[in-house]
Amino acid sequence: MATITSILIRLTSLLLLLFPALISAVNVVGSIKPNNILQSLTLLPPSMTVSLSGATLADSHTSHIFANGAFKFQDVKPGSYLLEVNCRTHLFPSLRVDVSSDGLVEVYGTFRGNEWSNKGERRPHPIDISPVKGSDFFIIREGFNPMKLLSNPMILIAIVAIGGMTLMPKMVENMDPETRAEFEKQQQNSVLSNAQNNPLQGFDMAGYLAGSSSKKPSTPGNGSKRK
């Protein structure tokens, strides 16, 4: 009887020693769920992974996705972790995973830049996570749209100038003789007045660049002394 009692005591002591180790071996599980953004799991790339980042690199875990969308992290130690889905075609929300020393797994919503002490919405475990939007890494080049050219002020000015040059001769031809004569007279006067008011008119640019200056021609009586 004493032998049986001693054996039970030893087994109980052994179980007490192994109990913390058994508790520390916690599995964090979850799955990717389709929604209106992700119609089927077959659209996900095979390189997609789920990471569970801890305080150190040794405490971090990475899991691939099974065909049914499930993922699993084994032997997760007590602590606080950041769960992220690494996918090049879809964006998934980030989650905070807290594993307590008694094996309890708590999941909360979070995002980058948020204070770690500020916990978001509580979520159940096992984890169900769905994408929030698709990833757009490339900008689609717009095609040529001639209507957008009209929004350029320089194009509008050029169109108005060309239209004026095209319509002005026709408008002059349709004028009556008196109005046309008066119009041509005003045009000639404006051209002559502009030419007269031009201070550079008659300026010898070639002579100026050559270094010569204009001199008045001498007359027989200017600057000559009689003997």
Which domains are delineated in the chain? Answer: 21-134 (2.60.40.10), 146-197 (no CATH)
Categorize the per-residue pLDDT at 119 as very low, low, confident or very high, splitting at 50, 70 and 90. confident
Checking if the pLDDT of 51 tops 70, the result is: yes
pLDDT of residue 227: 45
pLDDT of residue 33: 94
Continuous H helices in the chain: 2-24, 153-173, 177-196, 205-210
Q: What percent of the chain has pLDDT over 70?
A: 70
Q: Which residue has the higher pLDDT, 75 or 192?
A: 75
Write out pLDDT tens, residues 17-49.
544 444 456 899 999 999 999 999 999 999 999
Long-range contacts of 98-101 (CB under 8 A, 24+ apart): 99/26, 99/28, 101/23, 101/24
Amino acid 44 reads: L
Distance between CA 66 and CA 70 in Å, rounded?
5
Categorize the per-residue pLDDT at 208 as very low, low, confident or very high, splitting at 50, 70 and 90. low
DSSP assignment letter at 72 = E
Instruction: Give the predicted TM-score (pTM) of the model.
Output: 0.53
Lowest mean pLDDT among 10-14, 150-154, 186-190: 10-14
DSSP assignment letter at 224 = -
